[in-house]
């Protein structure tokens, strides 16, 4: 590494890697370049891509040193010869750096191409074009021909943080090497070496904060360490969110609010707190899955491991989702502080939320507590099977009788709960208290015989217990065929009608228990018989029919002709009032 100058220079500039050996976290790139230099297979153009602060520009300078080093050893530049020193100081004629973000036009590319053929003192002339994805379309087209067939002494190194925006015609003319973010352990080792080399008086907590702030970028981590040195307090670069997460773990909403308000008063904005809180929860989850995946180091690592162990993975994931959703909602909210506080409260208290995830979380905790209570040793001696059956027979709870779900719950003797079974919310405390107390004896439903007449009289009330109007209509149009041996047979006209009734049969059986106090099984059958009228239906009033008189055909005689005529004339006169009869 280079030594510090007399005037202040930031740490990431003072301790920029000068050889391949000093480059951290990019072993795959080092192997490829060192092997190409050693074997004489250096390409005419390279494309370095990766996140900021991962060593792209530094590697390009190291490559230029190696190509012009006067004392090259196994592909590694010596760093002390005149060529290496001039490149390190930035005054070498063999290295030309261009920022494509500010020189992205056609004229800049034409000027670069025009000087490319000119010679330089060293063996190779290296052009380093940073942020090459910022070039305009015209500049890219102007560079294409020279990039494809540059002069023999010219090598291009293009660097970018967004390789997808680089034109495919440029990518196809280069060897593409991808740089990766540095792991937490690598960053911690880098900062420890810098601390020793610079004689910095900072503690491990400050180094850990700088590593967290770096997020895999060596430059960002060293800049954060510079800030710690300048301020003398690691809390200046990252808020301490341990108390907030502790409140979420303990489901202490008040503790969470107090901790977050203190951070507001310290000058942190809701947006900054949301980003760092989401990162803490993510690191905690990664530590619970595989510690090597996490970037956190030092005391923060131990704290997060302890907190996520008590929090559990499901709650950690739900809290991370809530904070992540809050980050999106805060962008357009008039008061982001409210959005963040509500998200933290919902993460701490699942009973304040009604979504599926929170309900599932509460059910899981209750099931775990009930399981722990069910395995607790009973204070009363176990009874023999014969004694239990005798007591069931006396109370009417023996085989063949119906019992409500509450009557089937096993009684658990009251005793002090273990620490793991302490209720976490008032609602759950009430549920646990009701579960641990001996159940109140409730009358059971017997298997008494129900007649068809009694069942028919209650049929309307039974159907009325159904919540669905379709279910009520389906059963109301059925026929009570019979009630015997604990079975109710309902007749319907079609198979479709039967299938719809079977879909809600359990509800009908429950309604029968509620209305009649007896457990009856419902069977649906298709019958072609005309529906019988139940007693509950009002019968129609009978109508008296006239009695037909028996007539003997032998007694009938033919009427005289004059009589027939007289009868016909009288009918005509009645049909036409005012008409008179005239003799012929």
Question: What pLDDT, on the 0 to 100 scale, is given for residue 300?
Answer: 84
Question: What pLDDT, on the 0 to 100 scale, is given for residue 404?
Answer: 38
Residue 411 carries which DSSP code?
P
Contact present, 351 and 425 (Cβ < 8 Å): yes
Contact present, 223 and 236 (Cβ < 8 Å): no
pLDDT at 195 > cutoff 60: yes
Query: Which of these ranges, 284-288, 414-418, 440-444, has the smallest mean pLDDT?
Result: 440-444
Question: What pLDDT, on the 0 to 100 scale, is given for residue 66?
Answer: 93
pLDDT tens digits for 374-399? 654 444 444 443 444 445 455 444 44
pLDDT tens digits for 366-375? 776 777 676 5
Residue 547's alpha-carbon distances to 270, 544, 550, 553, 554, in angstroms, are 97, 9, 9, 18, 21
- Quote the percentage of the chain above a pLDDT of 70: 73
> pLDDT grade, residue 356 (50/70/90)?
low
φ, ψ (nearest 5 deg) of residue 418: -70, 160
Question: What pLDDT, on the 0 to 100 scale, is given for residue 206?
Answer: 83
Question: What pLDDT, on the 0 to 100 scale, is given for residue 511?
Answer: 86
Cα dihedral sign, 431-436-439-440: negative
Q: How far apart are CA 447 and CA 441, in angstroms?
A: 19
Residue 87's alpha-carbon distances to 18, 68, 77, 495, in angstroms, are 10, 10, 11, 90
pLDDT at 177 > cutoff 90: yes
- Quote the percentage of the chain above a pLDDT of 90: 33
Contact present, 130 and 97 (Cβ < 8 Å): yes
Question: What pLDDT, on the 0 to 100 scale, is given for residue 394?
Answer: 52
Q: Checking DSSP bridges between strand 487-492 and strand 479-484, what pairing results, if any?
A: antiparallel
pLDDT tens digits for 487-536? 888 988 888 888 888 888 888 888 888 888 888 888 998 885 444 454 44
For residue 528 the two structure tokens come to 């072609």
> pLDDT grade, residue 467 (50/70/90)?
confident
Domains of the chain, CATH where assigned: 11-178 (3.40.50.300), 184-236 (no CATH), 242-357 (1.20.272.10), 452-526 (3.30.300.180)
Residue 321's alpha-carbon distances to 282, 316, 344, 394, 457, in angstroms, are 10, 9, 11, 55, 56
Q: How far apart are CA 175 and CA 60, in angstroms?
A: 13
Q: How far apart are CA 127 and CA 156, in angstroms?
A: 5
Stretch (H or E) spanning 340: helix 336-348
| Most confident listed range (291-295, 340-344, 386-390, 473-477) | 340-344
Q: How far apart are CA 189 and CA 561, in angstroms?
A: 140
Q: How far apart are CA 209 and CA 232, in angstroms?
A: 13
> pLDDT grade, residue 236 (50/70/90)?
low
Contact present, 165 and 40 (Cβ < 8 Å): no
pLDDT tens digits for 289-300? 988 888 888 788
Q: Which residues contact 379 (CB under 8 A, 6 or more apart)?
A: 413, 415
pLDDT at 416 > cutoff 80: no
Q: Which residues contact 52 (CB under 8 A, 6 or more apart)?
A: 161, 217, 219, 220
pLDDT tens digits for 46-68? 999 999 999 999 999 999 999 99
φ, ψ (nearest 5 deg) of residue 286: -65, -40
Q: How far apart are CA 327 and CA 21, in angstroms?
A: 41
SS3 readout for 95-159: EEEEECCCCCCHHHHHHHHHHHCCCCCCCCEEEEEECHHHCCHHHHHHHHHHHHCCCCCEEEEEE
Query: Which of these ranges, 161-175, 457-471, 559-573, has the smallest mean pLDDT?
Result: 559-573
CB-CB neighbours of 61 under 10 Å: 24
Question: What pLDDT, on the 0 to 100 scale, is given for residue 486?
Answer: 83
pLDDT at 562 > cutoff 80: no
Stretch (H or E) spanning 525: strand 521-526
Q: Which residues contact 304 (CB under 8 A, 6 or more apart)?
A: 245, 280, 283, 284, 287, 294, 296
Which is nearest to 339 in space by CA: 325, 351, 326?
326
Question: For 279-303, what is the mean pLDDT?
Answer: 87
Q: How far apart are CA 137 and CA 133, in angstroms?
A: 10
């Amino acid at each position: 590494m280079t030594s510090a100058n007399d005037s202040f220079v930031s740490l990431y500039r003072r301790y920029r890697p000068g050889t391949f050996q000093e480059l951290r976290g990019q072993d795959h790139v080092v192997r490829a370049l060192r092997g190409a230099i050693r074997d004489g297979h250096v390409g005419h153009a390279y494309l370095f891509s990766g996140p900021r602060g991962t060593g792209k520009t530094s590697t390009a300078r190291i490559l230029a040193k190696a190509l012009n080093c006067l004392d090259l050893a196994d592909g590694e530049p010596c760093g002390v010869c005149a060529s290496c020193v001039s490149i390190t100081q930035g005054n070498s004629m063999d290295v030309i750096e261009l920022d494509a973000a500010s020189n992205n036009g056609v004229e800049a590319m034409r000027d670069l191409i025009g000087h490319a053929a000119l010679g330089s003192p060293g063996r190779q002339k290296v052009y380093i074009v940073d942020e090459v994805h910022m070039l305009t379309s015209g500049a890219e087209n102007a560079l294409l021909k020279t990039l494809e067939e540059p002069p023999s002494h010219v090598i291009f190194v293009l660097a970018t943080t967004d390789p997808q925006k680089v034109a495919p015609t440029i990518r196809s003319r280069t060897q593409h090497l991808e740089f990766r973010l540095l792991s937490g352990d690598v960053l911690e080792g880098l900062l420890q070496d810098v601390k020793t080399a610079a004689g910095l008086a900072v503690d491990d907590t400050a180094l850990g904060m700088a590593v967290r702030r770096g997020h895999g970028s060596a430059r960002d981590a060293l800049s954060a360490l510079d800030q710690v040195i300048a301020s003398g307090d690691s809390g200046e670069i990252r808020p301490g969110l341990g108390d907030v997460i502790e409140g979420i773990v303990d489901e202490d909403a008040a503790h969470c609010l107090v901790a977050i308000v203190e951070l507001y008063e310290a000058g942190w904005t809701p947006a900054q707190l949301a980003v760092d809180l989401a990162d803490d929860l993510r690191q905690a989850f990664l530590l619970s899955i595989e510690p090597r995946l996490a970037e956190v180091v030092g005391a923060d690592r131990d704290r997060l491991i302890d907190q996520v162990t008590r929090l559990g993975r499901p709650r950690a994931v739900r809290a991370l989702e809530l904070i992540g959703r809050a980050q999106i909602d805060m962008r357009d909210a008039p008061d982001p502080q409210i959005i963040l506080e509500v998200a933290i409260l919902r993460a701490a208290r699942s009973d304040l939320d009604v979504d599926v995830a929170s309900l599932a979380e509460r059910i899981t905790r209750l099931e775990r507590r009930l399981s722990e209570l069910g395995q607790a040793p009973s204070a009363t001696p176990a009874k023999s099977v014969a004694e239990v059956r005798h007591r069931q027979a006396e109370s009417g709870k023996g085989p063949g009788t119906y019992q409500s779900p509450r009557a089937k719950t096993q009684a658990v003797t009251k005793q002090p709960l273990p620490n793991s079974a302490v209720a976490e919310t008032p609602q759950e405390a009430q549920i646990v208290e009701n579960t641990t107390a001996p159940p109140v004896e409730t009358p059971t439903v017997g298997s008494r015989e129900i007649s068809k007449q009694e069942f028919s009289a209650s049929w309307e009330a039974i159907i009325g217990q159904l919540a669905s109007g379709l279910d009520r209509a389906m059963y109301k149009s059925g026929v009570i065929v019979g009630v015997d041996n604990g079975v109710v047979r309902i007749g319907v006209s079609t198979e479709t009608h039967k299938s719809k009734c079977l879909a809600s049969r359990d509800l009908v059986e429950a309604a029968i228990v509620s209305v009649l106090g007896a457990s009856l099984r419902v069977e649906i059958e298709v019958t072609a018989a005309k529906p019988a009228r139940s007693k509950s239906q009002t019968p129609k009033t009978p109508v008296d029919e006239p009695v037909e008189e028996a007539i003997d055909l032998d007694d009938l005689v033919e009427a005289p002709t004059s009589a027939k005529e007289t009868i016909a004339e009288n009918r005509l006169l009645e049909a036409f009032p005012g008409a008179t009869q005239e003799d012929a």
